[in-house]
Chain A
Amino acid sequence: METAAYVALAGAILSSVGVVAARRPVRSALSLLAFFLTLGVAFVALGAVFLGIAQVLVYAGAIVTFFLLVVMLLGSGLSPLFDKGARALLSVVATVALAGLTVVSALLTPLPDVTARARGSAEALVPSLFNELLVPFEVASLLLLVALVAALTLTRRKR
């Protein structure tokens, strides 16, 4: 199962590069779909079964569909796709520097090995989700409501 997880995660890395590097937004959206599918497979292989299924349902079913809808509605337009020159170089250098720092600190920190397989079924998630994390859970529902109203308000036209 460990190997399956790493194979799926390699696919996730490749498709995340595809999201950033694709020239057409539709291909970016399809790479995003591949990213979330491989991430869901990796979650299932790591034992987070319910989370993997929810990931595929929510992201691949709803969010990527929404992206595709908006991309097809708006078209890619004539806007430039990438930054050019010094700005892009600066961004990439800053990101690589951040990655290097974090990898070094992650390798220097003693982290526990993964020995105990966490079985993340839906039942097993209930105590943490509805007891310890009850307030964040309710705040998340409020956040979704606010986002819904915000999306409606932003795109509404005055008659």
Chain B
Amino acid sequence: MTPLLVISLVVFCVGLTGVLVRRDLPVQIMSLELLLGASALAFVAGSLAHGLKGQSIALLIAAIAAAEVAVGLSLGVMLSRVHGTLDADEARSLGEERWRGARQEGRPRGARGDEEP
């Protein structure tokens, strides 16, 4: 069980490095997926010794990952529309005016692939 836990820890730390070091939002979310996959591996390693509950929890982790990807990537689309970049550090303002203004004016600043249907 210990080697499996160490492998899951290595993957977790690689993913954590990705979240901290990368700056474009989609790759940060992919690194978050690595974190969730590593924790699923840890649950499966536990289920080998302690029964099948860990595998059921790993299934629930897949649902959580799907929800996280949906929200995170729509935030990425929003970020690209408002700021014209995917750099997550650009989103520092909590002020609502900028976001609302960009929504109503409807045109992105420099964002690509954003045509109105």
Contact = CB atoms under 8 A, between A and B. Distances in A.
Nearest to B18: A20
A-B interface, 8 closest residue pairs, ranked by CB to CB distance from nearest: A147-B67, A79-B87, A91-B20, A20-B18, A151-B74, A129-B56, A140-B63, A99-B13
Interface of A, helix, strand, loop or mixed by DSSP: helix
A76 B116 CA distance: 20
Contact of A136 (B18, B58, B60, B77): B60
Interface string A117-133: 11010001101110011
Nearest to A88: B21
Given A80-B87, A143-B64, A157 B2 contact: no
B46 to A, nearest CB: 9
Interface of A: 6, 9, 12-13, 16-17, 19-20, 22, 25, 28-29, 32, 35-36, 39, 42-43, 46-48, 50-51, 54-55, 58-59, 62-63, 66-67, 70-83, 88, 91-92, 94-96, 98-99, 102-103, 106-107, 111-118, 120, 124-125, 127-129, 132-133, 136-137, 140-141, 143-144, 146-148, 150-151, 154-155, 157-158
A29 B29 CA distance: 10
A128 B13 contact: no
Interface in B13-36: 13-18, 20-24, 26-27, 29-31, 33-34
Contacts of A120: 47, 52, 55
Interface string B66-102: 1111110111111010001111001000000000000
Interface of B, helix, strand, loop or mixed by DSSP: helix
Interface residues of B, number: 75
Nearest to A57: B62
A14 to B, nearest CB: 10
Contact of B14 (A13, A88, A137): A13
B59 A51 contact: yes
Given A116-B49, A129-B56, 8 more contacts: A20-B21, A51-B58, A74-B111, A77-B86, A95-B16, A133-B60, A144-B66, A144-B67
A71 to B, nearest CB: 6
